[in-house]
Amino acid sequence: MVNRAGPFFDLLAAQPSNEGVRRRDFIATSAGALAGSTLPALAQEPLARPGEVLQATRPSVVRSRDDVDGAAAGRLMDEALMAFSGKRDPVAALAEYVDPEDVVGLKVNALASPGHPFLPALAWRLAEHLMTLGVPPYNIIVYDQYGDRMRKGGYRYRDRKGHVRVLYHRRVGYVRKSVHFDKVRALRWSKVLTSTTAVLNLCVPKDHDLSGITGALKNMAFGNIDRVPEFHKVIHQAIPWMYGQPEIQDRTRLCICDATRVLYEGGPQDKPKTRVPYGAVLVAEDPVAMDWAVLDLVNEARVRAGLPLIERLRPPHFLHESAKRGLGAPFARLRWTRITNGGPATPYVPRHIDAGFANRI
């Protein structure tokens, strides 16, 4: 657990958010400034920009709930990456988080295929940017848990030298050593995950019948293990515990949410009648902040449909547990900026989250 109090995080909070300092360079500089302090060594890099979310919105990229203009959505994602990083092109934006020497996992969420996966057009655009950055094609792996869902979502298995790989866990397998969550539950990590040195967390905004919502945290936590059903009864404790393990936390560099559509009821599987067009892409380093944003988006659609807020039915307690573990910012520190149709960046205060739940200590 990262202690987010004291001089180190005071230093983080004092940093300008758009100076273009590379994330890893910033961390190294910050750690160097504290050389000789009594702070314990950290098992992972702390977030350079806790609580920050950038949303770029262009409703015109979505023609209907079943029809998204992939090229336009790709340009929208580039716009979000550039605005978040302060860079003039998306390749330079990704260079803040990925080196050419990395083996990069693009962890998509394809569970709600065929109607609501992370758009393949966005994943392939990211792969193209990474190749331009200098990452060899074979060192880029688009992956998820279930091969049938990936195929239905437009991702076809591929493992050929000289090409971007598209893999799924059941084909590649899991490491042999189990990790114990408690006395009765254990898991094994996906071999795809452990073969990477950097992961981009590519999620979609969805309702979830057990956890309340699915966004960045659950995409990585439950999307990189075997024996998923064993953890459903302890889902709010398991999500932050899994995400906080070094296998995930040390690799995950950036979260990108494909919010071209929002699934507001009946998830995590796709339900076309409760999937609505939205036309946005969100970017964050902080997975907890991203999921606060996902909760607001899902709730906004629920309010329009005359449904109660998620937290009044299935509270996503894992958000608070994740913040307590130091995985990201509590709701009070959320800083959400929106850019609509290429206009100015403006702060946004969530309007669709129950205040009592959001500010629970």
Q: What is the CATH number of domain 49-358?
A: 3.40.50
* pLDDT of 41 strictly over 60: no
Q: Distance between CA 324 and CA 147 in Å, rounded?
A: 34
Indicate the pLDDT class of residue 40, thresholds 50, 70 and 90: very low
- DSSP conformation letters of 87-99: -SSHHHHHHTT--
Question: Tell me, what's the pLDDT at 172?
Answer: 95
pLDDT, tens only, 203-217: 999 999 999 999 999
**Residue 298's CB: how many other CB atoms inside 10 A?**
30
- DSSP conformation letters of 101-113: T--EEEE---TTT
pLDDT, tens only, 259-272: 999 999 999 999 99
Question: Tell me, what's the pLDDT at 3?
Answer: 31
Q: Distance between CA 256 and CA 183 in Å, rounded?
A: 35
pLDDT, tens only, 279-326: 999 999 999 999 999 999 999 999 999 999 999 999 999 999 999 999
What are the structural domain ranges in the chain? 49-358
Residue 164: partners with Cβ closer than 8 Å, 6 or more residues away: 124, 127, 131, 137, 138, 140, 141, 142, 158
**Residue 355's CB: how many other CB atoms inside 10 A?**
9
* pLDDT of 28 strictly over 50: no
- DSSP conformation letters of 281-342: EEEES-HHHHHHHHHHHHHHHHHHTTPPPGGGTS--THHHHHHHTTSS--GGG-EEEEEETT
Average pLDDT over residues 79-101: 97
pLDDT, tens only, 99-156: 999 999 999 999 999 999 999 999 999 999 999 999 999 999 999 999 999 999 999 9
Q: Distance between CA 346 and CA 85 in Å, rounded?
A: 16
Q: Which of 79, 84, 144, 157 has the alpha carbon at shortest distance from 118?
A: 144
